[in-house]
């Protein structure tokens, strides 16, 4: 009986089937589903917005209005089936999906990232954290911290305003909604920081946090996220 209990727990933590189609798989995805992942092949170097031309490094909006974020590394588009995995992880507490997403992000970062001094998961407001029971950004960041040997800091940044979910707002409302939502509460012994999050929609949230970090003396702020809304 103990054996079966342990086996059931391990199967929840480390599924041996594809988390999209339920076919046999050793790393959470079968070969067919992995091929169908919606890669963000030509994302803007600063905000991650999908670009149509490979030779474009930065989108027009970032050229005209430079963000506080210095570089965004976002491997996927927030479309099927990545949106399905993120939704299950974020809203249904399916943590194996989170470990899979973190691993996929880590594979991309190994090829493209300049490693920072510190990782900071985008914080949730305490009320939202109590409702959800966990911070999805922190769950993504923990495996990345172990994978790359980068310290993880979650106490120096706080979300002090309980804002409306950005996904519920129109583009022109999001910047105003998130303004002043964060506070730097302690010294940061780092010049290069990467913010970790699940989805970047317009970039307003990570840019607002990056702005506070720059005011606190951080020289470079990158964004590591799983997906970007097209």
* pLDDT tens track, the chain, 230 positions: 443 444 444 445 556 889 999 999 988 999 999 999 999 999 999 999 999 876 678 999 999 999 999 999 999 999 999 999 999 999 999 999 999 999 999 999 999 999 999 999 999 999 999 999 999 999 999 999 999 999 999 999 999 988 777 666 776 677 788 888 999 998 898 999 999 999 999 999 999 999 999 999 999 999 999 999 98
Q: Sketch out the chain's domains with CATH numbers.
A: 1-36 (no CATH), 39-228 (3.40.50)
DSSP conformation letters of 119-155: EEEPPPPHHHHHHHSS-HHHHHHHHHHHHHT--B--S
pLDDT of residue 2: 44
Handedness of CA 104, 116, 140, 171 (dihedral sign): negative
Burial class (CB in 10 A: 0-12, 13-18, 19+), 77: buried
pLDDT of residue 7: 40
């Amino acid at each position: 009986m103990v054996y079966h209990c342990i086996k059931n727990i391990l199967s929840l933590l480390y599924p041996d089937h594809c988390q999209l189609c339920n076919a046999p798989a050793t790393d959470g995805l079968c070969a067919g589903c992995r091929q169908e992942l919606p890669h963000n092949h030509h994302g803007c170097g600063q905000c991650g917005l999908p670009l149509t031309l490979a030779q474009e490094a930065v989108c027009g909006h970032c050229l005209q209005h430079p963000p506080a974020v210095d570089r965004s590394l976002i491997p996927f588009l927030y479309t099927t089936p990545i949106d399905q995995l993120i939704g299950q992880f974020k809203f249904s507490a399916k943590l194996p999906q989170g470990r899979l997403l973190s691993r996929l992000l880590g594979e991309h970062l190994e090829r493209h990232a300049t490693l920072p001094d510190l990782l900071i998961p985008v914080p949730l407001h305490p009320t939202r954290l109590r409702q959800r029971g966990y911070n999805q950004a922190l769950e993504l960041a923990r495996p990345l911290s172990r994978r790359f040997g980068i310290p993880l800091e979650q106490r120096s940044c706080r979300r002090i305003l309980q804002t409306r979910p950005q996904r519920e707002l129109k583009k022109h409302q999001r910047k105003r909604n998130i303004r002043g939502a964060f506070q730097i509460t302690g010294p940061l012994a780092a010049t290069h920081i990467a913010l970790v999050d699940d989805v970047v929609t317009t970039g307003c949230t990570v840019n607002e946090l990056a702005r506070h970090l720059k005011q606190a003396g951080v020289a470079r702020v990158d964004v590591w996220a799983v997906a970007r809304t097209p």
